[in-house]
Amino acid sequence: MEIVSDRALGRWENEGGGLARELRDQFPGVRDWHYLDTAASAQKPQAVIEAVSRAMGEDYATVHRGVYARSANMTLAYEAARRRVAEFIGGREDEIVFVRGATEAINLVAHSYPKKGRVLLSQLEHHSNIVPWQLGGYEIDVCPLTADGRIDLDAAEAMLSNEHVLVAFAHVSNVLGSVLDAKRAAALAHKVGAKLLLDGCQAVPRLPVNVVELDCDFYVFSGHKLYGPTGIGALWARKELLDAMLPYQGGGSMIDRVTFERTTYAPAPARFEAGTPAIVEVMGLRAAIDYVDGIGLDAIHAHEAELVRQTREALRSINSITLYGPENAAGIVSFSMEGVHPHDVGTILDEEGVAIRAGHHCAQPLMEHLGVPATARASFGIYNDESDVAALVRGLERVKRIFG
């Protein structure tokens, strides 16, 4: 399936996102709906839907086990998808572990990384980058934020010591859209002998990522925010780190030899993929990566940046609205309206055909820092355009009229 013609792609790059209307028709779940909740989960293009359908239908067979031709072919396709994921973020295929999502990836590291001690997090982290470290027995230190909602790396530098074994930061905040200076974060972590884990859930759908250039040690992301299926994601880790880690789940496929007395494990990454994998979802993830690459992450980022600029400018003109996060947030605008709970904002916007996220966004410590119980969040994808911004503003004007 052709994603987009060269002529249309050129129009996207030259006209700042006019292609969104053309792309919207490729997303059956969007079309006439003003969907502004992509940071929670992206809608799926027809190319991904068709890839999943083929993998579940005429191509389906289990992997790594059957000796018959279709199983062998599916195994080849599955491992080709691993190579594609590695290529997408600049790693090697033997450094990619397929997981259910970023949450499982962080839990894997928190339980399997052999060194325990102190971990430095930040005030803007998602719960999935807080709770696993608590469960893993780490002592948590919390890095503050700058006034505009970025992780304060000057403060991080002052806080870090040789007691820290890990630093775990969001590459892009799921609430504020602030982008981490990941290279500097890596340098600071490595200076004290710590490893850096980056939560890339909000970064990989909208920013070019190269783990080698970022100099991180672990990188995690979920497929469903990248226009792919739910239930699939990836952990990238330096090979020497994977080799030093023991699995925290056991079962089929991750073993070398099993006896009742002793089990030895397969080499990484297989040792971390116990049980029958998410075969169909992996095929969908590969299709999603191909789709996004066909458009270009630089173009996607520029398109979303323009929508963020338009949205912040429009909402700033409504004097009852408070905006959060930096001006150049990546694809996300969080806000609150004086005297109106975000859930009421979201409900009224839904009546206007506009879907946003309202709540604490799985970031309760950040809400406490902001001094609010919740925020409303509009987040953009490649299918959004100026009409979605206009619909959001019209809906918020109605909210204001209702609540006076």
Catalytic residues: 362
What CA–CA distance (Å, rounded) separates 285 from 341?
36
| Chain centre to alpha carbon of residue 387 | 25
Amino acid at position 106, single letter: I
For residue 127, what are its two tokens?
A: 């719960």
Phi and psi torsions of 258, nearest 5°: -120, 130
- Residues pairing with 145 in the sheet: 151
Helices marked H in 136-235 — which ranges? Answer: 153-159, 182-191, 211-214
Alpha-carbon dihedral 16, 87, 223, 105, rounded to 10 degrees: -130
Q: Which helix (H) or strand (E) holds 390?
A: helix 386-403
Helices marked H in 164-296 — which ranges? Answer: 182-191, 211-214, 239-244, 279-295
Exposed/middle/buried for residue 319 (C-beta within 10 Å: 0-12, 13-18, 19+): exposed
What CA–CA distance (Å, rounded) separates 281 from 158?
42
Phi and psi torsions of 59, nearest 5°: -95, -5
Nearest to 107 by CA among 249, 229, 208, 300: 249
For residue 86, what are its two tokens?
A: 């590695």
For 118-194, where are the E strands, in sequence order?
A: 118-122, 139-143, 164-170
What CA–CA distance (Å, rounded) separates 137 from 277?
28
- Residues pairing with 218 in the sheet: 197, 237
